[in-house]
């Protein structure tokens, strides 16, 4: 806390106070002895003269020193890049969870607008990977891999080889779940520091990345957003060779509100305003350190949000006349469906019977089930044993669940749908030396971000699903 207020070497140098005679001379002590008046006067005059002489010397020396400093700071202002403080490009990768594309128009967002105006923006948003869920997308952003290849195929999933289920609380810091090479591992493999102020996957050790305490924060959603921003800013007060060249920063809003109230509610507007103020706090902290224009800020979200309500429900129990689906088969529901029937069932028959039933049941036309190998190729959602053998795509805003809720309301918001839906898009904004000012680019998938970041950092990334040469479309050449 309060890291933003800690002076750095530049500010403390410039704000060094002038010395003065009064501060270096202790106040005369009151005397009660009887001394001849003339003698006392002479002694006092002599003492005062010496004090004034010392004061003048110190003052002029200090004045000269500060004039030199002023000249140096003017020179720095004229040639602000590269600052000696940043010996290497730095990327701050920020995620605002569930920041649906378009939220930035809901309210005044002067700080996000500043980044957009002076940076590069995906004009119609950033496309998530399927499923448009939090963990798969955050990990695709930092690995450049589709979920089938990075292993985190959903927020919760079963691994038949391990015969274990991944959950966020139990699996976040266990390396065996996390495949691929996340950015923080790539960075430390190249001999630089990286830091993670929260990001899915960051707590798992990978290669040389061991989630060291100072550089890797254990996720705790109750840490105030201000503390997170200040924590990132504090890294810039380290010796230049130790400043992490990649810093992640994560906010769980406005996703938290989106689930509760859906995307069109004053609570969302308020949450968006708060995220904007955190971006403002970061910008101010960087400006205070004189490095705002030299740091790369990449602001993204993991997915969008769409309103759901209790009239848009599909119940698996309704399919019983055609096929009885046990709740133990269901590995994913709500915005997508994942089913793993026991081995003695024919998967083809299960799909056929479900498809027959869905033609008859209420809202059934809004759910389409596939053998995962038959899903549209653009979803890249087959090449992992962790992906359920049968996948159902749910129409936007509909919810599939096992049974009718007893009076429970289902109104709120959801994500996880087909990543083709516009409502599932989030934002991409890049600001800094490698991002052209005011540039707009077409929407792209978040698996491209890994290569964009490694290009800015000028390090060789691991093989991934990003498009070769894509960073050249987004970035300006390095100098
Ligand atoms: Zn999310």
215 and 246 part of one domain = yes
388 and 452 part of one domain = no
256 and 383 part of one domain = no
CATH number, position 154: 3.40.720.10
Span from the CA of 463 to the centroid of ligand 1 (angstroms): 25
Neighbours of 344 (CB within 10 A): 5
* Mean predicted confidence (pLDDT) in 217-244: 97
296 and 151 part of one domain = yes
Span from the CA of 260 to the centroid of ligand 1 (angstroms): 13
220 and 297 part of one domain = yes
pLDDT confidence of residue 61: 39
319 and 172 part of one domain = no
Neighbours of 226 (CB within 10 A): 15
Lowest mean pLDDT among 27-41, 245-259, 293-307: 27-41
pLDDT confidence of residue 284: 98
Indicate which residues carry an active-site annotation. 134
pLDDT confidence of residue 84: 59
Q: Is residue 13 in some structural domain?
A: no
191 and 50 part of one domain = no
Angle at 260 between CA 425 and CA 173, to 5 degrees: 70
* Mean predicted confidence (pLDDT) in 136-148: 98
Beta bridge partners of 429: 121, 299
40 and 161 part of one domain = no
253 and 326 part of one domain = no
Mean of the per-residue pLDDT values of the chain: 86
Contact of 425 with 445, CB cutoff 8 Å: no
Q: 414, 440, 464: which is the final residue of a domain? A: 414
144 and 228 part of one domain = yes
Q: Is residue 4 in some structural domain?
A: no
Place 309 in a pLDDT band, splitting at 50, 70 and 90: confident
Q: 48, 77, 106: which is the final residue of a domain? A: 77
Nearest in space to 452 (alpha carbons), one of 19, 47, 44, 144: 144
Span from the CA of 124 to the centroid of ligand 1 (angstroms): 19
Residue 310, pLDDT > 90, answer no
168 and 263 part of one domain = yes
Residues composing the chain: 479
- Kindly report the pTM of this predicted structure: 0.83
Q: Compute CA distances 181 → 139, 140, 185, 188, 189, whole Å.
A: 10, 10, 6, 11, 10
Instruction: State yes or no: cis peptide before 452, omega within 30 of 0.
Output: no
Nearest in space to 73 (alpha carbons), one of 234, 65, 4, 285: 65
Supply the DSSP string of 441-463, one letter for each residue: E--EEGGGHHHHHHHHHT-PPPP
Residue 253, pLDDT > 60, answer yes
Lowest mean pLDDT among 74-83, 96-105, 117-126, 358-367: 74-83
Place 429 in a pLDDT band, splitting at 50, 70 and 90: very high
pLDDT confidence of residue 232: 98
Residue 71 belongs to domain spanning: 33-77
Span from the CA of 410 to the centroid of ligand 1 (angstroms): 19
Q: Is residue 7 in some structural domain?
A: no
φ and ψ of 418, to 5 deg: -45, 130
* Mean predicted confidence (pLDDT) in 385-393: 98
CATH number, position 314: 3.30.1360.180
pLDDT confidence of residue 58: 37
Report the C-alpha gap between 284 and 264 in whole angstroms: 30
Q: Is residue 84 in some structural domain?
A: no
Q: Is residue 182 in some structural domain?
A: yes
263-276 residue pLDDT tens: 999 999 999 999 99
Report the C-alpha gap between 416 and 161 in whole angstroms: 25
* Mean predicted confidence (pLDDT) in 1-9: 32
pLDDT confidence of residue 407: 59
Number of structural domains in the chain: 3
246 and 330 part of one domain = no
pLDDT confidence of residue 409: 66
């Amino acid at each position: 806390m309060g890291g933003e207020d800690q002076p750095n070497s530049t500010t403390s140098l410039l704000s060094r106070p002038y010395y003065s005679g009064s501060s270096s001379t202790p106040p005369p002590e009151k005397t009660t002895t009887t001394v001849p008046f003339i003698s006392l006067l002479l002694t006092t005059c002599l003492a005062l003269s010496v004090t004034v002489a010392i004061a003048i010397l110190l003052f002029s020396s200090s004045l000269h020193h500060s004039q030199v400093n002023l000249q140096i700071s003017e020179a720095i202002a004229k040639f602000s890049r590269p600052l000696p403080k940043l010996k290497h490009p730095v990327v701050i990768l920020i995620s605002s969870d569930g920041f649906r594309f378009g939220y930035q128009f809901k309210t005044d967002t002067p700080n996000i607008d500043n980044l957009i105006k002076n940076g590069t923006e995906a004009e119609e948003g950033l496309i998530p990977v399927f499923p448009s869920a939090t963990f798969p997308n955050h990990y695709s952003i930092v690995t450049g891999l589709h979920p089938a290849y990075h292993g985190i195929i959903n927020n919760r999933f079963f691994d038949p080889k391990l015969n274990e289920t991944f959950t966020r609380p139990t699996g976040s810091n266990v390396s065996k779940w996390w495949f691929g090479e996340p950015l923080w591992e790539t960075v430390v493999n190249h001999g630089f520091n990286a830091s993670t102020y929260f990001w899915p996957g960051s707590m798992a050790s990978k290669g040389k990345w061991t989630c060291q305490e100072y550089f890797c924060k254990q996720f705790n959603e109750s840490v105030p957003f201000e503390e997170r921003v200040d924590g990132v800013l504090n890294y810039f007060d380290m010796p230049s060779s130790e400043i992490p060249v990649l810093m992640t920063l994560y906010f769980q809003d406005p996703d938290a509100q989106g689930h509760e109230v859906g995307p069109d509610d004053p609570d969302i507007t308020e949450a968006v305003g708060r995220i904007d103020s955190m971006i403002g706090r970061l910008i101010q902290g960087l400006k205070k350190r004189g490095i705002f224009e030299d740091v790369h800020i990449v602001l993204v979200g993991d997915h969008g949000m769409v309103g759901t309500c209790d009239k848009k429900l599909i119940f698996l129990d309704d399919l019983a006349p055609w096929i009885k689906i046990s709740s133990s088969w269901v590995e994913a529901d709500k915005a997508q469906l994942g089913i793993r029937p026991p081995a003695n069932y024919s998967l083809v028959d299960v799909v056929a019977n479900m498809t027959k039933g869905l033609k008859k049941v209420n809202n059934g036309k809004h759910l389409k089930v596939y053998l995962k190998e038959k899903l549209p190729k653009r979803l890249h959602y087959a090449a992992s044993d962790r992906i359920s053998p049968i996948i159902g795509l749910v129409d936007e805003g509909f919810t599939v669940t096992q049974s009718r809720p007893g009076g429970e309301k289902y109104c709120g918001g959801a994500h996880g749908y087909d990543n083709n839906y516009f409502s599932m898009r989030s934002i991409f904004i890049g600001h800094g030396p490698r991002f052209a000012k005011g540039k707009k680019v077409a929407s792209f998938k978040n698996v491209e971000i890994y290569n964009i970041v490694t290009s800015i950092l000028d390090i060789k990334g691991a093989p991934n699903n990003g498009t070769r040469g894509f960073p050249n479309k987004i970035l300006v050449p390095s100098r």
